Amino acid sequence: MDEKARKYVDMFRQVKIASAATVDEGGHPRSRIINIMIASDEGMYIVTSKGKPFYSQLVKTGEIALSAMCPDCQSLKFWGKVKMAEKKWVDEVFEQNPGMNEVYPGDTRYILDAFLIYQGSGEWFDLLHYPIRRESFSYGMEEERAGYLITDACTGCGACTAVCPQKCITEGTPCIINASNCLQCGACREICPVDAVRSLYKSKATQ
Amino acid sequence: MDEKARKYVDMFRQVKIASAATVDEGGHPRSRIINIMIASDEGMYIVTSKGKPFYSQLVKTGEIALSAMCPDCQSLKFWGKVKMAEKKWVDEVFEQNPGMNEVYPGDTRYILDAFLIYQGSGEWFDLLHYPIRRESFSYGMEEERAGYLITDACTGCGACTAVCPQKCITEGTPCIINASNCLQCGACREICPVDAVRSLYKSKATQ
C-alpha cells in the first residue's frame, strides 16, 4: 500500500464509524453502520457475526462499499474486495477495540468472524471548502477513474466555464477541467455544443 | 406514513448526513455520503446531478439503501424505492437547505434532480446501551423482518441462554428471544442441539 492509500485507510480507522454497503441475494443494495476495527498495510479489518445477512452477503459476493464522514465534513467513499480472515483477527480486533467486550462479552465473541478488505479504490472529498477538493486512492488495484475530460474536439467557446458550479474549468482550446476541484456534476457535458466532454468513469468493479 | 415511521424519517433528516448505497451496472455495491434534504409524509427527498454514476444507478435500479449514525451513537439503516421528483423539488431543497447555494450557485442547481424515496423498511439500533435496543419501521410497504425465533421444537435445555452475548433469551419451553434487545448474531441458532431456532429474515426487496 502506498503512502497516499495508507493515509486514507488510516482516516477510515480514525473516523471508525462507516457505512458498509453490500448486494443481497436478490441483487438489491443493503447498507448498515459498522466499525473499521483495524487499519494496516494489508487493508482494513471489520467483524460481523455469522447470523447476519451482512455476513452471508460478504461471503457470497466478496465485495463491499464503504462511505464515511469525518467530523469536519470531509467524506470518504470506497469500493473493494473482502475475504474472511483467520480467527486470531477476532482477538486482535477486541485487543484494539476493548469496547467490543461490552457487546460480545467473554467467549461470545467467537460468533464473529473478521474480514479483511484486501484491495479497493476510493475517494476523499471535501465539500465544505470552496472550491471543493477531491483525491483518489487505491491499494491492490488501480485507481478508479471518474469525472470528465474535455477532448480536442473543444472549440474554446466557453459555454462549459459559464455553467460550471465550481468554476473549475480553465478556458482555452481545449478548455481544461481541474479534476481535483470538480463536482463531477456533468453540467459541462450537458451544455457542450460540440460534444467534446467525455466521461472518465469506468468502474473497476466491472473489470 | 404512520407515527413511528415519521419519527425515524425525521431522525434521518435531523442527522442529515447519510450514506447512500446503490448497485452499479455490473451488480456491484456502491456507496457515498449524501444529505437527506427533506422529510415529509411522502418520504425522504435527496438530490444528485445528472453526470454522476449515482444518478444513473438510481434511475436504472429505482432502489437505494441508507444508513446513518446519530451523534449519540444510535444508528439507522434502511432499504427503499426511489423515483425522480418534479423539478420544483430542487427549488424546495435549496429553500430548506440554503447551504446548497454555495456548492451550486444560481442556476447551476438545475443540473441536479430531486429523488423521492417513496417507500421502504428500516431499523433503528442503539448499540451503546446495555442491553442493546432495536426497532423496525416502514412506510408504503410492510416492515422487513429479521433476527431469530425459537420454535416449539425447543426442549428448554438453556444452551442458547448461556451463549447469548446480550442475555436477551428468557428460559422456558420454548425459550423466548426478546427481539428488541437482540444483536441477531445467530449464536443461539449455532448452539441449539435440536435446531429449534429459525431465522425470520426475509428480504422485502426480493418480493
As a whole number of angstroms, the distance between CA A168 and CA A178 comes to: 5
What is the rounded average pLDDT of the residues A19-27? 96
Cβ atoms of B172 and B30 within 8 Å: the answer is: no
SS3 A95: helix
- The pLDDT value recorded for residue B50 is 94
Residue A168 has pLDDT above 90, yes or no: yes
CB A120 within 8 A of CB A79: yes
Q: Which residues of A touch B28 (CB under 8 A)?
A: 23, 63, 65, 79, 203, 205-206
Three-state DSSP class for A126?
Answer: strand
CA distance A102 to chain B (A): 8
pLDDT at A207: 47
pLDDT tens across B75-119, in order? 999 999 999 999 999 999 999 999 999 999 999 999 999 999 999
A86 has pLDDT over 90: yes
* A148-206 CATH choice from 3.40.1360.10, 3.30.565.10, 3.30.70.20, 3.40.50.620: 3.30.70.20
Pull the grid cell for residue B180: 428488541
Minimum-distance CB partner of B201 among A23, A53, A146: A53
ipTM for the complex shown = 0.94
Select from B179, B170, B41 the least CA-distant residue to B123.
B179
B92 phi, psi to nearest 5 deg? -60, -40
3-state SS, residue B178: coil
User: Does residue A73 register a pLDDT over 70?
Assistant: yes
Looking at residue B204, what is its pLDDT? 58
pLDDT at residue number B207:
47
Q: Is the pLDDT of residue A132 over 70?
A: yes
Question: Where in chain B are the domains?
Answer: 3-138, 148-206
Question: SS3 for B63?
Answer: strand
Average pLDDT estimate for A31-49: 97
CATH architecture of A3-136: Roll (2.30)
**Over the range A103-119, which residues count as b (16 or more CB within 10 Å of their CB) and which as e?**
bbeeebbbbbbbbbbbb
**Portion of chain A with pLDDT greater than 70, in percent:** 98
Average pLDDT, chain B: 94
Confidence of residue A84 (pLDDT cuts 50, 70, 90): very high
Q: Do A103 and B26 touch (CB under 8 A)?
A: no
Chain B nearest C-alpha distance from A109 (Å): 8
Q: How far, rounded to the nearest angstrom, does the alpha carbon of residue B155 sit from its chain's CA centroid?
A: 35
Mutate to test the interface with A, among B22, B32, B77, B200 (most CBs of A within 10 A): B32
State which residues of chain B have pLDDT below 50: 206-207
Q: Which CATH superfamily is domain B3-138 in?
A: Electron Transport, Fmn-binding Protein; Chain A (2.30.110.10)
